[in-house]
Structure 1
């Protein structure tokens, strides 16, 4: 069954996409006619990621690390792990440390596709939980921390050309982000409101069954991050002409 999701607000990046801008001078460029375009793009993105950590003033981009989400809601599932979760003040750390492992692009069709691995992705947030784990009722709220290690991600950017001021820009129409960690560790404070020892035992149980918990989180996280990354990408590509982003020579 498809899971419902709610993304109430995003404090990601992207102000006015109409204002023209230029890529920072120290960003590596890749020629769209380069027969080794994908190899060049892997190097360029890898070089650029750490520079996004604290934001990019020239492109009106706020810091990527941490990436902030004001509120995120995950509805109860129908399986043995049926927990409704509400997150607020969510901060995601580690995206700028990602390693680009593969890229497969077609600049003539404005489409980009790639794979990454993030050594450690940490999510911190205030949470509220209501539901059950197996037959145990769960109802609590407090601080939460989720750590995903060796997180493999696949990213697909779809776009169409857009003309503005006599120049062609890349108008991103869809961003599809999927994720799969090698391992996930969680800690939810006051999960059962039954004392520290019981909460520790419940967190231990959740960590022993992390794959089932991740299956609950996965659809909503992927949808939320896809929307955020779409906004970030559009904010850049609609500011910088395509031929400046990917020169012909």
Structure 2
């Protein structure tokens, strides 16, 4: 997948959270990534970076990015489970561009409840994908951030348990959660026959000057606090991730 920027968060079982952003250096150069279940190669984080320089930039920047302990309002340890509440507001969006968010749950964490909603309309739940990362023993939440209003906002709530014995066979699913990060948002919203028509239309190549083009997704840089690294440079800028009050 070709993307323009990434928002990457990683949670530990002690309630510390690492927040990191990565973006391409200019509009003509994209970050080339694959999702956690696409290869069986050594990897740190939720993505494979298929460009060597970009992989090095991510590894260096992610290693230097500080972890911060969440407040009790945002991370709670219950009797036999955990609960996390996160919010992101003001993710910039443009037509035909996308911001891609990922959250890696703690090692051996198995989700049993997941909600990602529009804070301005809590009845509206966003489609997302969830992949079990067997290499790093983590479940990873992927969210494609789109909005026709120029900004994307979401509140995330997840309950999970830590279970080393059953992690390798664990699964989670609901009406809004898919195990396919490439799944299109319109799937599940249209009648089956209409989904097929849309899928065929999007997959049909467009020929121009004997060159075939297919749809690719671009990710737009988001303007908010978090770790940033320019994918086309080695220097990493370390920034902390702010957690916002979801009750206001």
Q: Which category of TM-score, normalised to the shorter sequence, fits these structures?
A: under 0.3
Instruction: Give the TM-score, by structure 2 length.
Output: 0.26
Which structure shows the higher helix fraction?
Answer: 1
Using the size of structure 1 for normalisation, the TM-score is: 0.26
Name which one, 1 or 2, has greater alpha-carbon Rg.
1
Larger RCO (CA within 8 A; separation ≥ 6)? 2
